[in-house]
Amino acid sequence: HPGASEEAAPPLQQSFMIPKKEINMVSDMGKWKRSQAYADYMGFILTLNEGVRGKKLTCEYKVSEPIEKLVALLNTLDRWIDETPPVDQPSRFGNKAFRTWYGKLDQEAEKLVATVIPKHLADAAPEVAVYLKESVGNSTRIDYGTGHEAAFAAFLCCLCKIGVLRVDDQMAIVFKVFNRYLEVMRKLQKTYRMEPAGSQGVWGLDDFQFLPFIWGSSQLIDHPDLEPRHFVDEKVVNENHKDFMFLECILFITEMKTGPFAEHSNQLWNISAVPSWSKVNQGLIRMYKAECLEKFPVIQHFKFGSLLPIQPVTS
Number of domains in the chain: 1
φ, ψ of residue 103 to 5 degrees: the values are -60, -35
Cα torsion 269, 270, 275, 277: sign: negative
pLDDT of 275: 97
Task: State which amino acid sits at residue 182.
Answer: L
Asked if residue 313 is part of any domain, the answer here is no
Residues present in the chain in total: 315
Task: Calculate the alpha carbon distances from 194 to 130, 139, 145 in Å.
Answer: 21, 10, 10
Residue 1 domain flag: no
Which range of residues forms the domain containing residue 227? 20-304
Query: Would you say residue 5 lies in a domain?
Result: no
pLDDT on residue 315: 66
> Which alpha helices (DSSP H) does 220-291 contain, by range?
234-240, 245-256, 261-264, 266-271, 277-288
Burial class (CB in 10 A: 0-12, 13-18, 19+), 174: buried
pLDDT, tens digit (0-9, with 9 covering 90-100), for 20-43: 999 999 999 999 999 999 999 999
Q: CB neighbours of 211 closer than 8 A, spacing ≥ 6?
A: 45, 149, 153, 178, 288
Evaluate whether residue 117 is within a structural domain.
yes
Q: Which residues contact 307 (CB under 8 A, 6 or more apart)?
A: 16, 124, 127, 128, 157, 158, 161, 162
Segments of the chain with pLDDT less than 50: 2-8
> Does 6 reside within a domain?
no
Q: Is residue 10 part of a domain?
A: no
- pTM equals 0.95
Q: What does pLDDT average to over the chain? A: 94
Whether residue 11 lies inside any domain: the answer is: no
| Tens digits of residue pLDDT in 113-153 | 999 999 999 999 999 999 999 999 999 999 999 999 999 99
Does 3 fall in a domain?
no
CATH of the domain at 43: 1.20.120.1150
